[in-house]
Structure 1
């Protein structure tokens, strides 16, 4: 979806360049960034790896991923725009009408002050073109990918069943895992992402022995998010000159 348009907006040549810019943005603006703004920036950066620097997300999705209210996300995005860290491209659906998911372009950490950044581009709606029909070969999941997904789900089912037999809960946790990692495949090894997802399952159920948790899926979402943040931070550390 919007692959060609996103490619034109790509602001980095590689994921390493993107990571370096994120690290610089956070360092330079740490006194002006709220915790929510940092969380939103991390989510955008994780979803901007396929086309380095361009994330395509709905506000509701961002809110769900960071566990915050939609209004908090809107304020965080505005702050990131005001600081010159991202640019927002509003998408309208020409057929059904209304807003679609927005494109968020993470900007290079140039030596400029936020006050001189061009703001008008961030507020100018960009009309989205109707989606082209999928080609037949794009709609078919390869056998190897299907097998991997089946094996991953089986691993999730086994991990959950170690603590409780609940197919509905397994499906919820697996869905959260897919939502968090779908844009990270190809950047991190698939077995690394799977290991983190399963470890988050174990940590979630272990936590139930210490305290009452009413929403296991929500708790798992938070644990997984923090673990992926640590994975992302480790990548930053590897890029830092010694």
Structure 2
């Protein structure tokens, strides 16, 4: 990833300049950098170990790492150990290269001004009203998507975001299944939330609606091509 420790250190300094990080977030970033010298830019420190090093709880470290990942500062993944035991995993954290922040750009969509979309839990594709409890909401959302939403949104916000996804998808192609393309939708979610945190968009709801509309159109075209159906032009919802 990096040619030298100095290159890594410069990246960390750039991240510190680019983002308004809390004292704890700065501590965690510094620890990750210090323990990323053997394999430059990559650390296998457990969350509990980081917690001990800076005197915080493991829960706090998990939350901080999720925020650092949201900001594009680190990337987290879980690796299986060489023993082959599925219970034996290691935590890999990679410090991402700092990139120049683009200028603020708004997302244009009428959903930007809507406060609360409706959802209906009758199936995974066309929901109209939201589940009444957090437990019901969790059971109604495909698990990888729920896990992607949970670190960044409380229950009310998750209610809104999930409703926007369902409405955006259904307005393009109701036959597209979220379960079959969750990676595409999650990638869009992370990109939009990151942009929102950086102040590059005015409305997270509006941008999510437009971006999920667009990715659904792309998925729909891929499915048609795979099935030998001629590609039908799909309206570009983001061009409004």
Task: Report the TM-score, using the length of structure 1 for normalisation.
Answer: 0.40
Larger Rg: 2
Q: Which structure carries more helix by proportion? A: 1
